[in-house]
A and B are shown apart, each in its own frame.
Chain A
Amino acid sequence: MNFKKNHIVLLLLSWSISNVAFAKLDILTCEPEWQSLAKSLGGSKVNVISATTAFQDPHHIEARPSLIVKARNADLIFCTGAQLEIGWLPLLLTKSANSRIQTNQLGYFLASDQVELIEKPAILDRSQGDVHASGNPHVHWDPYRLLKVAEAFSERLKIMDAANSEYYQQRYVEFSSRWGVSIDKWESLASALRGKKAIVYHKNWSYLLNWLGLEVIGDLEPKPGIPPTSAHLAGLLTNMSYNNPDVILVANYQNNKGAHWLSEKSGVPVLELPFTVGGSKAANSLFSLYDDTLSKLNKIR
């Protein structure tokens, strides 16, 4: 009897070990840009799903039942951090009751922890709008920071799935060399953009515009997190007569009514850019997201 019991236990044990050895790492990313990156770096050894799409504002997501189930099943959660997901990620972690992805675990990875952030507010005060205390979280729009995030994430994959660490190293080397070549291409494509002036909807393009040398001369939001008001738009319009912006930038998920009103009154064109992977037809990976965005920006005259 005992012998039989031991047999069953052994059988179960070997089954579960083999399961671990051959199972793919289940990764849940908070945003599609990290889904694309995790797929590039994890290749065939990982399953990656994203909690949000390019058409959803990542600041305002609900920890709905389907997301709780996705979080429960994940071995690793890969998010932006810097309070971008503060309205839903903490609740998602608690409700998932998944010990692997809690904040102190290997299965919890934040892009914003890997790089320096810009636009850290000197004064933290809600009268300044819904500002992120740790700085601007939208780091995927700086290709150099993105590469740092990629390197750190690849290291994390190697630790979590040591059996495949060589595979992950090889994937990272491929990604980083291709990304490096692309950076050169994008920078030469964008050389004419340096010094152009832009009005943005929200401070979500700061990394991109800093990198390309565009100047931000106004925000459609009067304060971060507060939708454009007619008084604020009228103020922007008055200023436009002497600071001559070249373009108004909105992300594909943002309400573009204010931008179009301003464009009609001033003649300055609106450019709707995919904010992340999946935000336009062409943008189906990080590479094509940058390609598509730069070709659109190059239409600025």
Chain B
Amino acid sequence: MKYFRLLSYLVLLLGVAVKATANPENPAVSVILDGFYKTEETALSERGRSFGLGHTELSLESAVDDRFIGRLTTVLESHDGETEVEMEEAFLNTTGIAMGLDIRAGRFLSQVGYLNSRHTHSDHFAERPAVYRALLGAHYFDDGLRINTLLPTPFFWRVGVEAFKGNQLAGGEGDDSVGVYTVNTKLGGDFSVSNSWQLGASYIKHKLKIVEDEHEDEEHGEDDHGHSHSAGYSAENLYILDAVWKWAPLGNARNRQLILLGEYIYADDLNEYATDDDSHEGWYASLVYRFHPQWGIGIRQGEVELKQAHGEHFHDQSLKETDVMVSWSHSHFSTIRLQYSRQQDVGFESVNDAVSLQYVMSIGAHGAHEF
């Protein structure tokens, strides 16, 4: 079965690679190659020690007709000699129906927070911040429905709701037909021609079925590179605040750009044994400066405090992380990044300082990135 899937995937890849530009017969095809070398194991990380591959992504996107666009993204990942094919996105999206409405259905990345809806290849650091890795499984995607509306205000104000099956968040597999609801709002605008901003607030309601086998996960303290996208720590309510400010001289981001970004996540109602004092909490802030079309530097500081469920009680865990990176992009389509990550912890096992060397290469159509 697995070989059949791999084979059909390759056939698909070959079939679409013949023609590369988007037109009615040929959807826009893009491939992302992501590989790395990392000196040490780090806590809560999906990337192990030594050489490895990150997200190898194949994506097809096209207008379906004049009302819908469709997108399919498959991700190939290999772990312990096994290659896994995963469908990360398979959705339809409406284009310009009435009243600023925008509807998406299928499997897609939830729009909560700032980073979550973005593909990891557009990130400025080799891995998502610790708080994301712990609480959202690096990026939370699921099967569901989204309805967004752009309010008729003079500034940018979007309000959206999502409903998901809920299997991809920790403690999933609930009885409810809809396991996760999210509410999200974003406000944004320009301070001046050189300065732009955006603020966001999100709430995730996870209708947890109390997962009995939580205490079996004795070794779960560290998310042992078992590659699961499920978040490692459950909670019934998640609240996220995010803020971004971007500066480019005269608004010309081609030559120079400064990006200041931060998010804060709070989660409570961890399970049936949790008291009001039991909660997960974390944040990160990053500053990235591209001082030349090809060169960028960045620093990120983050922290997460977690309660690891252990039968009827919890163990305290915490992780502080500092990342420093320098990146070089020969063209718009190629990036090589050197990163140093420093971890300080309470209650984790493989906590280390690590150096990573990473490449992200983009072949074919290169879709636009969100602000």
Residues of A within 8 A of B (CB): 52-53, 55-57, 59-66, 68-69, 72, 86-91, 93-105, 124, 126, 129-130, 133, 223, 225-227, 253, 255
- Cross-chain pairs A/B with CB under 8 angstroms, 21 sampled: A53-B193, A55-B250, A56-B254, A57-B252, A57-B254, A62-B369, A63-B368, A63-B370, A64-B190, A64-B246, A65-B187, A66-B189, A72-B100, A86-B368, A91-B370, A94-B69, A98-B96, A104-B66, A126-B333, A133-B21, A227-B294
Closest to B20 in A: A124
- By a CB distance below 8 angstroms, the chain A residues around B186 are 65
Contact A124:B21 (CB < 8 A) given known A72-B100, A94-B93, A227-B294 = yes
Q: Which of chain B's residues 174-189 have a Cβ closer than 8 Å to chain A?
A: 186-189
Q: A64-B198, A66-B189 are in contact. List 7 more A-B contacts (CB 8 A).
A: A53-B193, A56-B252, A60-B252, A64-B196, A72-B150, A97-B101, A99-B97
Flag if B254 contacts A66 (CB, 8 Å). no
- By a CB distance below 8 angstroms, the chain B residues around A59 are 254
* Residue among A59, A88, A89, A102 facing the most chain B CB atoms (10 A cut-off): A102
- By a CB distance below 8 angstroms, the chain B residues around A253 are 252, 254
Flag if A66 contacts B97 (CB, 8 Å). no
Residues of B within 8 A of A (CB): 20-21, 63, 66, 69, 93, 95-98, 100-102, 148-150, 154-156, 186-190, 193, 196, 198, 246, 250-255, 292-294, 330-333, 363, 366-371
Flag if B190 contacts A66 (CB, 8 Å). yes
- By a CB distance below 8 angstroms, the chain A residues around B97 are 97, 99
- By a CB distance below 8 angstroms, the chain A residues around B366 are 87
Contact A227:B196 (CB < 8 A) given known A55-B251, A96-B150 = no
Interface of A (DSSP majority class):
loop
Closest to B19 in A: A124
Contact A56:B246 (CB < 8 A) given known A68-B156, A87-B366, A97-B97 = no
Contact A65:B371 (CB < 8 A) given known A129-B331, A130-B332, A226-B330 = yes
Closest 9 A-B residue pairs measured CB to CB?
A65-B188, A65-B156, A99-B96, A57-B254, A91-B368, A60-B254, A55-B250, A64-B371, A66-B190
- By a CB distance below 8 angstroms, the chain A residues around B371 are 62-65
* Residue among B96, B149, B371 facing the most chain A CB atoms (10 A cut-off): B96
Flag if A102 contacts B250 (CB, 8 Å). no
- By a CB distance below 8 angstroms, the chain B residues around A126 are 331, 333, 363
- Tell me, in angstroms, the Cα distance from A133 to B293 when the chains sit together: 23
Contact A94:B102 (CB < 8 A) given known A66-B188, A66-B196 = yes
Flag if A65 contacts B331 (CB, 8 Å). no
Flag if A97 contacts B154 (CB, 8 Å). no
- By a CB distance below 8 angstroms, the chain B residues around A72 are 100, 150
- Tell me, in angstroms, the Cα distance from A64 to B93 when the chains sit together: 20
Shortest distance between the CB of A235 and any CB in chain B (Å): 18
A225's contact among B154, B188, B332, by CB below 8 Å, is which?
Answer: B332
- By a CB distance below 8 angstroms, the chain A residues around B154 are 69
B98's contact among A68, A88, A99, A223, by CB below 8 Å, is which?
Answer: A99
A88's contact among B187, B252, B294, B368, by CB below 8 Å, is which?
Answer: B368
Flag if A130 contacts B331 (CB, 8 Å). yes
Closest to A69 in B: B156
- Tell me, in angstroms, the Cα distance from A227 to B295 when the chains sit together: 11
- Tell me, in angstroms, the Cα distance from A223 to B371 when the chains sit together: 27
Contact A62:B193 (CB < 8 A) given known A69-B156, A88-B368, A227-B294 = no
- Tell me, in angstroms, the Cα distance from A52 to B332 when the chains sit together: 20
- By a CB distance below 8 angstroms, the chain B residues around A97 are 96-97, 100-102, 148-150
